[in-house]
Chain A
C-alpha cells in the first residue's frame, strides 16, 4: 500500500500544500491541480514541454518527483505576466512570429526566463546552450532565437527586466 504524504512548496509565489503519492511526478501533480500550461511531452526529459522553474533553475517536471519540490519555489507559466500584460519574453515570441502550434511555448518561455534571470544579456551561443532542452517541431528555431536575441538586446539597451 502506497503511503500518501503531504508536502508544501511555494507555487507561483503562494505557499501551497498538496497530498501526493511518493511516485507522482511534479508534472502530474501540477496538472491535476489545474496548472495545465505545463505540458506532457516525452516523459523522459528530452523535449522540454514540461519545463518549470525550480529555485530559479529550469527543470523538466517529468523527471522530478513531486516530493522533491518540498520546501522549494516552483514557477509555472501561469505565474508569468501580470493580468492581461504579457511577460517580455512572451511578447518577443509573438513579435517575432515564433509561435505556431504553441505546445512547446510554455516550456520555452520558462527556460528563457530562468536564463534571463541569471544572465540578462546572453549571447547567441549561450542562448542555444541554455535552451537546448526545448524542442519545437514547427518553427525551425530561427524565430525563437531571434526573439531571445531581441530580449537580450533590449536588456543591453536598458530595457525592462
Chain B
C-alpha cells in the first residue's frame, strides 16, 4: 500500500470526522501490521486510530467488552472464567506482533488468514460501530458474507466487540495450522458447543484460511445437533457436507491434503469443545 499522508486521531468523534472528510482514500490503522501485506498500490491517506480510548477488556453481566484497539498480547494475558480468546491470541504470529496488532484491525480488515473472525463467528456476540451514528450489530450479520462485512466497516469505526462468557456446559475449540510457527494460516477452525442432558444442544463451527472469508459450516452443525455429546458424534461427522465449498490449498498443499487437513482440524476443534463442555476428555 502507498501512504500519501497520515494523521492521528485522539477522539472517536475526530476520527469519524476525518474519515468522512478524507473520503475514499481514507485508510484506518490501529496496530497497522496488516498494512504491509496490502497489495493495492493506490495512494491512501492513513488515519491512525491507535491513540483512541478503545483499549482494554471489561466483564459485566456475563459479557466481555473488548476495546477495538486492545492488543492481541492483552487478549492473551487476560484471565477470567469463561474467557477463551487467549487461546486464539496464543497462536497469533509471535510476541512482537501480538504486542502491536489489535483485535479491531484483525476483525475490520479480514484477510483470508485472519484468526479472530473465525473464532468470533462461533462465539457470536456484537460489534459496536460508529459512523454517522453509533449502532450495535450482531457478528453473524456483519460476517454473513464479504459484502456485508465491507458495508458494515465502510465509513465506520469499530469501537467494541462484545462476546458472551462461556459457562458450565459450554465448550470452545480452536485450531490454526501453519507451515512455520509465524506463518500465515493454512487452515483455521473454531467450534463452540453447548451440551444439555448429555446431548449437543447447540453447535457452531467456522472455517477460515482455506476460504476467502471465514464461513460457518451450517450443514455440519445441523448433522451434530441432538447427538450424544461423546466421541461418537465426532466420529460420525459427515464431511461430505464440505463438498460444496471450493477450498483453497495454501502453502503448496495439494487439494487432497488440504481437504484432509480441514477434516482433521474440524474434528479436533469439535472434540476440544465437547471435552470442555462435558468436563472431561473424549
Residues of A within 8 A of B (CB): 2-3, 5, 22-23, 43-48, 51, 54, 57-60, 62-65, 67-68, 70, 111, 129-133
Contacts and interface: CB of A to CB of B under 8 A. Distances in A.
A48 to B, nearest CB: 6
B99 A46 contact: no
Interface of B: 2-6, 8, 32-33, 35-37, 46, 48, 50, 73, 90, 93-97, 99-100, 180-183
A129 B95 CA distance: 7
B100 A48 contact: no
B93 A45 contact: yes
**CB-CB nearest 10 A-B residue pairs:** A133-B94, A46-B182, A57-B99, A60-B96, A133-B96, A22-B3, A63-B33, A133-B95, A132-B94, A45-B97
A119 to B, nearest CB: 10
A107 B109 CA distance: 29
Contact of B90 (A5, A68, A129): A129
Contacts of B96: 45, 48, 51, 58-60, 63, 111, 133
A133 B2 contact: no
Nearest to B99: A57
A65 B3 contact: yes
Which of B5, B94, B100 has the most chain A CB atoms closer than 10 A to its own CB? B94
A70 B32 CA distance: 14
Nearest to B97: A45
18 contacts: A5-B5, A5-B6, A43-B36, A45-B36, A45-B97, A45-B182, A46-B93, A46-B94, A47-B182, A57-B99, A59-B100, A63-B33, A63-B36, A63-B97, A65-B35, A68-B48, A133-B96, A133-B182
Which of B73, B95, B180 has the most chain A CB atoms closer than 10 A to its own CB? B95
Nearest to B180: A46
A59 B101 CA distance: 10
A64 B34 CA distance: 10
A8 to B, nearest CB: 13
Contacts of B180: 46
A5 B48 CA distance: 15
Nearest to B76: A129
Contacts of A22: 3-6, 46
B32 A63 contact: yes
A54 B32 CA distance: 14
Nearest to A57: B99
B100 A70 contact: no
Contacts of A57: 73, 99-100
Contacts of A60: 96-97, 100
Contacts of B95: 58, 111, 129-133
Contact of B94 (A45, A54, A65): A45
Nearest to B7: A67
A45 B46 contact: no
B3 A48 contact: no
Nearest to B51: A71
Nearest to A60: B96
Contacts of B99: 54, 57-59
B50 A68 contact: yes
A113 to B, nearest CB: 13
A29 B71 CA distance: 24
Contact of B181 (A23, A45, A58, A132): A132
Contacts of B8: 70
Contacts of A131: 95
Contact of A2 (B4, B36, B94): B4
A132 to B, nearest CB: 5
Given A65-B3, A67-B46, 15 more contacts: A5-B5, A22-B46, A45-B36, A45-B94, A45-B182, A46-B182, A46-B183, A48-B94, A60-B97, A62-B36, A67-B6, A68-B32, A130-B95, A133-B93, A133-B94
